[in-house]
Structures are given as structure tokens and as C-alpha cells.
Amino acid sequence: MTEQYVKDKVILVTGGGGGIGAEIAKLAAAEGAKVVINDLGGSVDGEGADGGRAQQIADEIGANGGEAVANGGSIAEWDDAQAMVQQAVDTFGRIDGVINVAGILRDRIFHKMTRDDWDSVLGVHLTGYFNVSRSAAEHFRKQSSGSFVHFTSNSGLIGNIGQANYAAAKMGIVGLSKSIALDMARYRVRSNIISPSAFTRMTETIPTNDPTKAAHVERQKAMLPEKIAPLCVYLMSDHAEDITAQVFYCRANEIMLMSQTRPMRSVHRDGGWSCQTLHEHGIPALKPSFYELERSRQVFTWDPV
């Protein structure tokens, strides 16, 4: 009999009502987990709410012999985050994993970005991921086990145009995950990051008003959301008990381990630096190692197979 990798584990998936989140929820259930599917059901920019999306995925899981319940709370709200974790405990007796997928977009070129554009995106991605993770953390601490997977983006790791709010939130999530991994290692709690690339409602919003952008969207259509799910579910399993504080990039059939910020090159001068010595010696010594001003598609120049 084929092993079920997360058999009897209780996993909360935020943003589980569609796209990547729904595929993760369905695979987790197929691998034996009991799943709480959270989805506010709003539009890509976070407006509106439709709890039916989460219920639809829960019903689909149930029809296939799995166990799942729906939750329509907003992860941006502390009380809602507490309630969805408590729902997992009340319904299934415990909570073993949190997969933070939920997100919104409010793309705007920086000099036109509004305070609401900023606050809304940070509120869901960064504050929301904190809210849910913090709510689960006490349960994980008491049982000396648990796993987090948080979604970042290449918009944060590398950069994209018109996404200062989204990029800032997604890089903040990398720092959040690393801090969780450090703080909770003593309780055997793990925290990892996935940067996904798949065609979803969010990538459908990419403008296609020139041939280059149109070609990029066409390539995205080949990146199916279900390809992201196996790594997420595996990181919830006991087989991944020694994997923490890592950043993965996943698209189509590729999984990449991403680098993390470390010193690349250094310069030293007895007595310290002045503007003149920096200009004459310090910066010229460092400059060969400077990063180019690149967008993610300029770094990942090959099509996934």
C-alpha cells in the first residue's frame, strides 16, 4: 500500500478556496490529512467575500473520501485567525501544520501607490501570516511539534515593477519565517518558505499590452498550480522533520533551493573610510560584485519543462 505522507495530521491552508491553495488542500487530504480550508473568497484585490469557495473545495474533498471543513475568516484580522486555528482543534482535536497561501494584489507604480494600496497588501500577506502563525504557535509549542510553510514571491526575492507593497510584504515573510524557525526550534517546530510560479487568478492580472508581456503570460499558463502542492505537503510530513529555515522556488517540474543573504565581498581600511577613499578605493573594489537592476523574468530566462 502506498504511504500517505501526512496521514492523520491536521493542516490549515489559508487561501485554500482556489488556485494553488485548493490544490494543496486536495493533495493534503489525499495524503491522509484532515484539512481546514480558509478562504475569505474575495477578489484578487481583496474586495468582497464569498465563503462558498472554501466550502466547494471541502465538499470536493469529502466526495473523494477525505476530511475537510471550510472557514471564511480574514487572516488580516487577529480574531479571525485565532478562530480558524481553534476550529481545527475543535473539529479534529489538534493542529499540526499551517500553510499560508492567501494573498491579494494592489499593483501600482511606486509614485502612484496609495496608503490603502500599501496597508491592504501588507495587512494580508505580512500581518495576516503573522496572525495565523502566532495563533498556531502556542499549540505547536505545547505539543512539541508543528510545521509552517509560508508563500513568498520572486517579486520580493528578486524584484518586479509596480509591486513595492507586494515585494515588501513577501520579503518580510522571509524574515518572519526565519525568525519562527529560530525561536521555535527548541519545540521541534519548523518553518519554511516557498516561492511559487503558477498560472492563477493573480497571474491573470499581468498586463498583456505588449508582445513581451503577452509571451510571459503564455509561458505562465503552462505552470500548473497543482505542481506546487507536493513540496508543500511533503514539508508538512515527518519525513521533513530536519528541514527548516529554507527558501524554495517551485515552478512546473523544477524545484530550486534559493540563496539567502550572506556577505559576498568586503573591504577594510585602517582608520576608517572617508568619502574620498570610498570613491577612490572602497566602492571600486566592491563594484564588480554589485547586483544588476533586474526583474525576476531577467533572472529566470529559461522556460520550465
Q: Mind listing the domains of the chain with CATH numbers?
A: 10-257 (3.40.50.720)
Return the active site residues. Answer: 166
How many whole angstroms separate alpha carbon 27 and alpha carbon 66?
Answer: 10
Please tell me the predicted confidence (pLDDT) of residue 291.
93
Encode pLDDT of 206-259 as tens digits. 566 777 666 666 767 778 999 999 999 999 999 999 999 999 999 999 999 999
CA neighbor of 146 nearest in space, from 155, 158, 138: 138
How many whole angstroms separate alpha carbon 289 and alpha carbon 305?
Answer: 31
Please tell me the predicted confidence (pLDDT) of residue 17.
97
- Contact 179/165 with Cβ under 8 angstroms? no
Read off φ and ψ for residue 44, nearest 5 degrees. -60, -35
Please tell me the predicted confidence (pLDDT) of residue 41.
87
Residue 154, burial from CB neighbour count under 10 angstroms (0-12, 13-18, 19+): buried
Residue 69 is classified by DSSP as E
How many whole angstroms separate alpha carbon 256 and alpha carbon 247?
Answer: 9
Please tell me the predicted confidence (pLDDT) of residue 235.
98
Q: How would you write the pLDDT of the chain (305 residues) with one tens digit per residue?
A: 689 999 999 999 999 999 999 999 999 999 999 999 999 986 666 565 666 899 999 999 999 999 999 999 999 999 999 999 999 999 999 999 999 999 999 999 999 999 999 999 999 999 999 999 999 999 999 999 999 999 999 999 999 999 999 999 999 999 999 999 999 999 999 999 999 999 865 555 556 677 766 666 676 777 899 999 999 999 999 999 999 999 999 999 999 999 999 999 999 999 999 999 999 999 999 999 999 999 988 998 888 76
Grid cell at residue 203: 497571474
- Contact 118/80 with Cβ under 8 angstroms? no
In the chain, the DSSP E strands lie at 10-14, 34-38, 67-71, 97-100, 146-151, 189-197, 247-251, 254-257
CA neighbor of 148 nearest in space, from 137, 138, 159: 137
How many whole angstroms separate alpha carbon 178 and alpha carbon 244?
Answer: 8
Please tell me the predicted confidence (pLDDT) of residue 213.
62
How many whole angstroms separate alpha carbon 303 and alpha carbon 267?
Answer: 38
The H or E element that residue 80 is part of is: helix 78-92
Secondary structure (3-state) at 30: helix
Question: According to DSSP H, which parts of the chain are helical?
Answer: 19-30, 52-63, 78-92, 115-122, 128-143, 154-157, 164-184, 211-221, 229-236, 275-277, 283-286, 296-299
Grid cell at residue 120: 491592504
pTM for this model (two decimals) = 0.91
Please tell me the predicted confidence (pLDDT) of residue 37.
98
The widest CA-to-CA distance across the chain, in whole angstroms, is 72
Please tell me the predicted confidence (pLDDT) of residue 206.
57
